[in-house]
Amino acid sequence: MGTIALEGLEFFAYHGFYEEEQKMGNKYALDITIDTDFIQAAQQDRLSLTVNYSTLYQIAHKVMQEPSRLLEHIGFRVIEQIRVHYPDVAKIRVKVSKFNPPIGGVCTRAVITMEG
């Protein structure tokens, strides 16, 4: 068993509960961590026996292009799509960060972390 992670994926997207957020857009970051057995990939040096980083990025990119109201929904959809491509992974953790959220005060990021 091992861990594969993509950290600090950055996107500009049009998510948010408020209509103005969906029009103006904002900067978001995603961290994806997957627990999986990749011993055969390590032994045989074969990408087909593990999780492809590029596929993970493409999944995240696609999800970020589809507007959502909640960070939780983004996290859910990323996990759901990873499971479609990699049904045998043991655990998926997704951290979604929204920069400068409109909360009426100073806040660098709003963050949710979800496991599936």
Write the burial class of residue 98 (CB in 10 Å: 0-12 exposed, 13-18 middle, 19+ buried).
buried
> How far is it, in rounded angstroms, from Cα 34 to Cα 26?
26
Single out the residue of 114, 98, 94 nearest to residue 31, CA to CA.
94
Alpha-carbon distance 105 to 116, whole Å?
A: 32
Tell me, yes or no, if 95 is annotated catalytic: no
3-state secondary structure of 31: strand
Which residues are designated catalytic?
A: 98
